[in-house]
Chains A and B, each alone.
Chain A
Amino acid sequence: MARQFVKTHDRAILTVILVAAFAWSLSAVPWDSTVIHAGGKAAILQMLKAMVRPDLSPETLKLALVSSWRTLAYAVAGMSLAIAIALVFGVLAAGILVTGRGRLAVMGFFRGVLGFMRAIHELVWAWLFVAATGLSPLTAVFALAIPYGGTLGRILADMLNDVPPEPIRALRASGAGKLQLLFYGYLPMAMADMTSYIMYRLECAIRSATIMSFVGLGGLGYQIHLSLQDLHYNQVWTFIFFLTALVMLVDLWSNQLRRGLVP
């Protein structure tokens, strides 16, 4: 009876749950005049005014360009390392190299490792690394590569598990070994989906490289941080627009590539 009720009204129940949760969260905010700073409204206005007049002086533009490259370079380096991690851990977590009794244990172990890697945010990893070893370019790259490797590895493992079994069986029947199965069966079939996912994650990596400014890494985030502290709102928007352009470029590239991959 109750089960039937839940089944017929599943979406209505879910909506009620979600709305109730939102109401509960709204109640946590003290809704009075103390929510906004004394000068908060003026700051909002200034910020919006500066938006339509970003700082376009040659020095700022040059700085923005150099910072964009730095952010992109860190994102790409972190991503390339993440892909390497994902390939190794993802294949192991998919359990296609191991057969027999140990298979589930290996799968479980590596899925757990990947889960741990991605549960902690890249900036928290960065904090921990900086606290342990001090700031170095590699700190930022490793801090990026660990959670991204965790996410990519998990997705790769899922994709490898979803590869249709017929071609794999055909390969096995013609005598392919495990590695041959991997390189001629599993990986080529997961390739297209994986590529578009990697492009999407590259976009995220650019954002993550930006916020690495918090542990002192240079780049667009750092410049935004500095300009905000000096209250140079016009400059803030210049850097934000450069960041937007960078993300748009990657987005455009990924759309083109996806169109090229899917016939």
Chain B
Amino acid sequence: MRVHQQVADLAPHSTGSIVIKGCIWQRLNVVRVSILMMVLLVTASWIFLFTLEGASLSGYFSAKNLYHAKELLGNMLGLGAETPAFLDMTSWHKALALTYETMQMSVLAIGFAGIGMLITVLPAARTVADGSLTLTSTWYGWLVFGTVRFLYILSRAVPELVWAMIIVFMFKPGILPGAIALGLHNFGILGKLCAEVVEDLDWRPVRSLRSSGASWWQMLFYGVLPTVTPKFLTYLLYRWEVIIRTTIIVGFVGAGGLGQQFKLSMSWLHYTEITLLLICYFLLVVLADATSGLLRRFVQ
């Protein structure tokens, strides 16, 4: 209510002819309207969930669900099972082979995404398109800028799993479709992040290269790349960590690795196998975080 009142109070100032006042109004306005919208959105969502979607707290936290949850946990811990998969050597061998495969899939995915990003990132920077970096601005520069930016948004808006669902239509199940799906999604994210790095670049060295007659490629290799490389590498490693977490997901639709086996075990109700796969997944995530941390030390 208070917020609402303040927005109303502030509104008349917007017509003020003093520019500074206008700016302040705008600033407060965006923040306040955002808060109001957020509160409305959260309230509406929860009301929607509890009315139309039929969510119910008492129904969820019931004795029946508690019983089922306990049963699942017991099954996963291998209570009553003859040989739990996580105590069986052959199962471990199989799971570790899948873990290795999953690792390969993640590296392949970040490779695809990184190559795609490197090819497109320069035209996707606003400072390149409008010529403030390169001293030349062309209509096709803007066209490429718009197209690439749209591709970035489209590929990052669609989750990896949905890409995977589409791509398994075309490729045989295995690590390649999974890597392509992961790569497509992360191409959009990396592109956006790295284009922003190029936009925030100090333009003076690049401009002076350009005005002393450097070609486009010379500008890229001597002006842009040396400055942006550390940040690009940081983003690549960071996205790789995220990809490792997501590899299990694309496997659900038959894109290979731990995820595929996870889904199979889920449908066959092999609960101890699920535990084993989750242990491997957890180890993979920890290992990737450590590796990425180690590699990051190189660029700092």
Contacts and interface: CB of A to CB of B under 8 A. Distances in A.
Interface of A: 10-11, 13-14, 17-18, 21-22, 24-26, 28-30, 34-37, 40-41, 43-44, 47, 69-70, 72-74, 76-77, 80, 119-121, 123-124, 127-128, 131-134, 136-139, 141, 207-208, 210-211, 214, 221, 224-225, 228, 236, 240, 243-244, 246-248, 251, 253, 256-257, 259-261, 263
B57 interface: yes
Interface of B: 26-31, 34, 41-42, 44-46, 48-49, 53-57, 59-60, 65, 68-69, 72-73, 101, 104-105, 107-108, 111, 153-154, 156-159, 161-162, 165-166, 169-172, 174-176, 179, 229-230, 233, 236, 245-246, 248-249, 252, 262, 266, 278, 281-282, 285-286, 295, 298-299
Given A136-B60, A225-B165, A260-B27, A244 B153 contact: yes
B171 A137 contact: no
A260 B26 contact: yes
Nearest to B165: A228
Contacts of B31: 257, 260-261
Q: Is the interface of B mostly helix, strand, loop or mixed?
A: helix
A88 B133 CA distance: 45
Contacts of A35: 171-172, 174, 176
B72 to A, nearest CB: 4
B154 to A, nearest CB: 5
Given A40-B170, A121-B249, A214 B157 contact: no
Contacts of A138: 49, 55-57, 60
B298 A13 contact: yes
Given A47-B169, A248-B153, 11 more contacts: A21-B111, A25-B107, A72-B41, A74-B49, A76-B45, A124-B281, A136-B59, A214-B252, A228-B166, A236-B166, A260-B27
A70 B54 CA distance: 13
A11 B60 contact: no
Contacts of A37: 169-172
Nearest to A243: B157
A185 to B, nearest CB: 21
A133 B42 CA distance: 25
Given A29-B174, A244-B154, A119 B245 contact: yes
A136 B171 CA distance: 34
Contacts of A139: 60
B159 A211 contact: yes
Given A22-B108, A73-B49, A210 B159 contact: yes
Nearest to B100: A28
18 contacts: A11-B298, A35-B176, A36-B172, A40-B171, A44-B170, A72-B41, A73-B44, A77-B49, A80-B42, A124-B248, A136-B60, A211-B159, A214-B161, A236-B166, A240-B154, A240-B162, A248-B157, A256-B30
Contacts, number: 191
A133 B57 CA distance: 13
B231 to A, nearest CB: 12
A260 to B, nearest CB: 3
A246 B159 CA distance: 13
Nearest to A224: B162
B34 A253 contact: yes
A28 B108 contact: yes
A76 B42 CA distance: 6
A121 B245 contact: yes
Contacts of B69: 132-133
A18 B295 CA distance: 10
A101 B273 CA distance: 41
Contacts of B156: 247
Contacts of B73: 132
Given A119-B245, A248-B153, A26 B27 contact: no
A246 B45 CA distance: 15
Contact of A137 (B42, B44, B55): B55
Contacts of A80: 42, 45-46
A208 B45 contact: no
Contacts of A24: 104, 107
A31 to B, nearest CB: 9
Contacts of B157: 207, 240, 243-244, 246-248
Contacts of B34: 253, 256-257, 260
Contact of B54 (A17, A18, A30, A137): A137
Contacts of B298: 10-11, 13-14
Instruction: Identify the 9 closest CB pairs spanning chains A and B, nearest first.
Output: A260-B30, A137-B55, A25-B107, A22-B111, A25-B108, A247-B157, A40-B170, A73-B45, A244-B157
A45 B26 CA distance: 48
A236 B154 CA distance: 13
A186 B45 CA distance: 30
A161 B55 CA distance: 38
Scoring A77, A80, A248 by chain B CB atoms within 10 A of each residue's CB, the highest score goes to A77
Nearest to A40: B170
Given A74-B45, A132-B68, A137 B299 contact: no
Contacts of A263: 27
